[in-house]
A and B are shown apart, each in its own frame.
Chain A
Amino acid sequence: MTSAITATGLRKSFGGKAVLDGIDLEVAAGTTFSLLGPNGAGKTTAVQIMSTVVHADGGEVRVAGHDVARDPAAVRAAIGVTGQFSAVDNLLTGEENLLLMADLHHLGRADRRRRAAALLDQFDLAGAGRKPVSTYSGGMRRRLDLAMTLVGSPRIIFLDEPTTGLDPRSRRMMWQTIRELVASGVTIFLTTQQLDEADELADRIAVLDHGKVVAAGTPEELKRSIPGAHVRLHFAGLPGLDAAERALGGALRHEDTLTLEVPSDGDAIAVRDLLNRLGGTAAEVDEVSVHTPDLDDVFFALTGRSAADTTPGTTPEMENAR
């Protein structure tokens, strides 16, 4: 197994504040790696250092076998980057943006047209190709942004929160595109705030918090370490709630909402077993919902804090005072 990206002891501070505090990462070629963390965790800084636009204060990063500090040109030749904010030329049309990329990748005359047309098709932008990008919707701009990244056929692609702010349909499309890229042998380095996205796409996940990797592993390993998954049962009345609590044991009781939270991994067999155990009792279940761990659960489990509460010094009281 060869490594597409390795980072060792990566450090970066801005104005005396450590944004990356000695992180180690390894991404195998041809896999999807997800850096998961809330706003301000240092995800974008990590991508910026790996993509040669920000200098690290310490540590070593190798991308496609080249050191980012010593040989940035070789790194740039191997990578493509789609950032959090669309890096497109608003004054040009979608097609002109792609042709600009083709020219900068020194594609031949016939090639550039063919490549631009193929990418417009692939990203569902053929109809809008001749329109100025300033008229595009957010989802269209993001698709164009990724299409521009693909013009040079990079072997390693950095995607910094590629679906933040996208509607569900565009998000699905983006996921599908990422899967197709991986299937063609591309290595993906993806940052996200959403566990379900990392879960859906990544072979390995690292959780970043305050510039440190607090957990790393496959999605399964990570979710197994989190106690957040449970099945929530809602009852019509107190007698049902009482009966179910006696039958199940170890469940968390919420009398005000008439619900029980039963720890479970939430798959179909577990839910069926659970309901079977209630079958012989007076507990009549109104509603069943499965709660799977989200980023907040991961965070709470790993750091004892909520993901939303990551600004140092911000307390719930202060939030309320505003």
Chain B
Amino acid sequence: MTTLTFAVRDSATMTRRSFRHLSRYPVTLVVAVVVPVLLLLMFVGIFGTALKAALGAGSYIDYVVPGIIAITAVYGCQATTLAVNRDSSEGIIARFRTMAISPSSVLNGHAAGALLRTLASVVIVIGVSIGLGFRPTADPGRWLAAAGVIVLLALALTWLSVAFGLAAKAAEGTTGFLLIVQLLPFISSAFIAPGQMSGAVRWFAANEPFTPVINTLRGLLTGTPSGGTVLAAVAWCAGLALGGYLWARILSRRDINR
């Protein structure tokens, strides 16, 4: 077998390992679905009428679901970064590194497992949203494009989570990253247009990565004008994914922690 087939085979083994972890502790998946659904219920039920008035046309649930999709992807980060951190602090990464396996397979396994888990929770959340009254207008082509954007976003968040999980010396060290990444969608166009915000917050919301991603999803799924944000969304996601991937690679080649 060639080096490449070994790399694929080892990565597949590591991915199966991460699924086995998930099957042992399915609560990870439940949390990643329940929190976004609760947020959806809360915003539609409590603020929905008020926010609809502020936004003008359309139903509020159609406005908010693309934001909830992004938040679902964000809530997958915690499980990913903690799993990577647990591996590196428990010494099993040291064992893997003394074995004749493809060096990238450990991280690839984590990333592939996390990506598939995140996409599964997004699918469930979209299903629940439709049950609650979300009415997307997208044709199959637009659905496919939206799926592409979601995959890119999940890829970016996954590789950042892997890198931060490796960088932290203990699980506590990942809280800063998780706090920021979980906060960012709230200061974006997820719940209300940045134009309705004030001062510095408005500027921040208009320029942070989640706004173009959510606007693009909203445009694709519900047909609202996305205002040329597609390029910004793709650039942010691809840039963060590549940055996270390269950083994780560098971190994984460091000498073992003593």
Query: How far is it, in angstroms, between the C-alpha of A4 and the C-alpha of B258 when the chains are bound?
Result: 26
Question: In the bound complex, do residue B17 and residue A87 qualify as a contact, i.e. CB atoms below 8 Å apart?
Answer: no
In contact, A132 and B92 (Cβ under 8 angstroms): no
**B96 neighbours in A (Cβ, 8 Å):** 104
Taking the closest CB of chain A, its distance from the CB of B109, in whole angstroms, is 11
Residues of B within 8 A of A105 (CB): 99
Contact present for B100 and A53 (CB under 8 Å): no
Contacts of B6 in A (CB 8 A): 106
The answer to whether A100 has its CB under 8 Å from any CB of chain B is yes
Q: Is B256 within 8 A of A92, CB to CB?
A: no
Instruction: Count A interface residues, CB 8 Å.
Output: 33
Contact with B along A47-88 (1 / 0, CB 8 A): 010011111000000000000000001001101110101111
Shortest CB-to-CB span from B107 to chain A, Å, is 15
Which residues on A sit within 8 Å (CB–CB) of B101?
A: 104
Question: Does B98 lie within 8 Å of A77, measured CB to CB?
Answer: no
Interface residues on B, range: 20 to 34
Q: Does A103 have its Cβ within 8 Å of any Cβ on chain B?
A: yes
Number of A-B residue pairs having CB atoms within 8 Å of each other in the complex: 67
Q: B90 at the A/B interface (Cβ < 8 Å)?
A: yes
The reply to whether the CB of B9 lies closer than 8 angstroms to some CB of chain A is yes
Check A100/B13 contact, CB under 8 A, given A91-B25, A106-B6: yes
CA–CA, A13 and B81, complex, Å: 30
B256 with A53: CB separation less than 8 A: yes
Which of A81, A91, A148 is the most central at the interface, judged by chain B CB atoms within 10 Å of its CB?
A91
Q: A85-B91, A86-B91 are in contact. Are A92 and B97 (CB under 8 A)?
A: no
Could you say which of A14, A45, A87 contacts B94, with CB atoms under 8 Å apart?
A: A87
Q: Does A96 contact B (CB under 8 A)?
A: yes
Pick from A54, A76, A90: contact of B90, CB below 8 A: A90
> With A79-B98, A86-B91, A87-B94 in contact, do A54 and B9 touch (Cβ < 8 Å)?
no
List B residues at the A interface (Cβ < 8 Å).
1, 6, 9-10, 13, 16-17, 20-21, 24-25, 90-92, 94-101, 255-256, 258
| CB-defined A-B contacts under 8 Å, sample of 29 | A14-B258, A48-B256, A51-B98, A52-B98, A53-B98, A54-B255, A73-B100, A76-B99, A80-B98, A83-B91, A83-B94, A85-B90, A87-B92, A88-B92, A89-B17, A90-B90, A91-B25, A92-B20, A92-B24, A96-B20, A100-B17, A103-B13, A103-B16, A104-B13, A104-B99, A104-B101, A106-B1, A106-B9, A152-B100
